[in-house]
Amino acid sequence: MIPAQHFPGEGAPPRFRLLSALSYCAPLLVNGVVLPFFPVWLETHSFSDHEIGIILAIPMVVRVLVAPVVAMIADRMKERADVLLWSSALSLLTAIALYWTTSFWPVTIVFALQGATFAPYLPVVESIVISGVRRWGLDYGAMRVWGSIAFIISTLLGGQLISRWGGSMVLIVMVFGFTMTVVMAIFCPRIGPTRRRGQPIDLPAATGRGLREPHLLLLLIGVAIQQSSHAVLNAFSSIYWHQLGFSGAQVGLLWSAGVASEVMVFFLSKRLNRRFNAWTLIRFGCAVSVCRWILFPMNAGFAGFFLLQCFHGFTYAFVHTGVQRRIVATVQETQEASAQGAYFFYVGMAMGLMTVASGYLYAWLGLVSYYVMALVALSGLGLVISAYYLQPQRALSGGKTREAA
């Protein structure tokens, strides 16, 4: 379980849980339509597989360059939530600008700008929520789960709208989602800087090796590689399902099934955290990734793909929950936003590079590219196992053991 650090006489601000949950909802409303359906919008404008891969990948690379820098700035601000307002407002402008871009380079540039402006939003929200978990012992999963629910609603709604009115509806839903991010940037909890509340503002920040721990660095890289194995799924599964004859509503349902499995994991996170340590969750999720991509090219119809999408609760939510626990166990709160930015950087950079590669792989190998993704996930699992054995040793009554938190 994520450890809490309680401070006498201090309680959570009013409506912190509610506002945190809604702060997760806003950006995932956007992701719920962009992730599954923006490739469909691109295909309606006759972009090739190579071009789709490049358009989707460049914002990922831009995001990972911008997010850690803004996260470090947020760690030094009096209110991290202030970052969210300009991030959401500029992102909304880029979504509106897409109405006037239909050729390769204009779309690439505008979508890359959107990647840059929206990059810090979710990591900063994550850092605020994790601070609440540290300070007041709140349940991380109970707040994070509502973002996944928002993703499901957005995906189902987007699928229905696209089935009825076509790919042009993608931009309408995207603009609505970014408008909600502006609203929640205004109402996101303000809890002060990333130091313990009640400390004098001029007290030196705590020092430590948190972000420089070799095992944490290797863990983040291993998880980033494993997460990047989702690249072919993210870029081409909706197109593939449409080619199989699935309707927009069915495609939306398949995407929603994956996120619904996340929801179940987050709802059960307290029980899972009591039963399994973080390393077990991460390793199991990585192993399921290998199986998922091996099975994916075997067309078992809608029911088969629905079941495979439910594996997402393991391949993403198990891994993500475990990584958050390891970050909290290794990094001090004064580095919280920086740690989230670093996590975002590694995952985003790996995903961006793999998405570029996926365009070429899918054009060359077709469904066989999923077997390549299985090898990628396997290599990530290998690094995660290596990270486990790099942990600092602790002297206990029975000898030395590795951290299992």
CB 321 within 8 A of CB 272: yes
Band the pLDDT of 85: cuts 50, 70, 90. Answer: very high
Q: How far apart, in whole angstroms, are the C-alpha atoms of residue 226 and residue 294?
A: 14
Average pLDDT in the 326-352 region? 77
Q: Which of 1-5, 228-232, 256-260, 268-272 has the highest mean pLDDT?
A: 228-232
What is residue 211's predicted lDDT score, i.e. its pLDDT?
61
Amino acid present at 182: V
Decide: residue 175, CB within 10 A, 0-12 exposed, 13-18 middle, 19+ buried. middle
Q: Which of 20-24, 210-214, 290-294 has the highest mean pLDDT?
A: 290-294
What is residue 203's predicted lDDT score, i.e. its pLDDT?
28
Report whether pLDDT(183) > 90: yes
Average pLDDT in the 83-99 region? 94
Tokens of residue 237, six digits:
């599964």
- What backbone torsions phi and psi does residue 183 show, to the nearest 5 degrees? -60, -45
Average pLDDT in the 42-51 region? 86
CB 89 within 8 A of CB 35: no
In this structure, how many other beta carbons lie within 10 angstroms of the beta carbon of residue 401? 11
| Nearest residue to 123 via CA among 155, 86, 80, 174 | 80
Which of 3-17, 52-66, 68-82, 350-364 has the least mean pLDDT? 3-17
| Mean predicted lDDT score pLDDT of the chain | 83
Tokens of residue 247, six digits:
């309707």
What is residue 156's predicted lDDT score, i.e. its pLDDT?
83
Average pLDDT in the 312-320 region? 91
Q: Which domains does the chain have, with CATH numbers?
A: 16-193+209-402 (1.20.1250.20)
What is residue 378's predicted lDDT score, i.e. its pLDDT?
97
Q: What is the pLDDT of residues 203-257, one digit of tens each?
A: 233 333 556 678 888 999 999 999 999 999 988 888 889 888 888 888 888 988 9
| Nearest residue to 286 via CA among 383, 381, 384 | 381
What is residue 288's predicted lDDT score, i.e. its pLDDT?
96
Pick 287 or 335 by higher pLDDT. Answer: 287
CB 300 within 8 A of CB 352: no
* pTM over cut 0.75: no
Report the interhelical angle of 319-330 vs 140-165 (nearest 10°): 140
Q: How far apart, in whole angstroms, are the C-alpha atoms of residue 172 and residue 323?
A: 34
Band the pLDDT of 201: cuts 50, 70, 90. Answer: very low
Give the DSSP letter of residue 331.
Answer: S
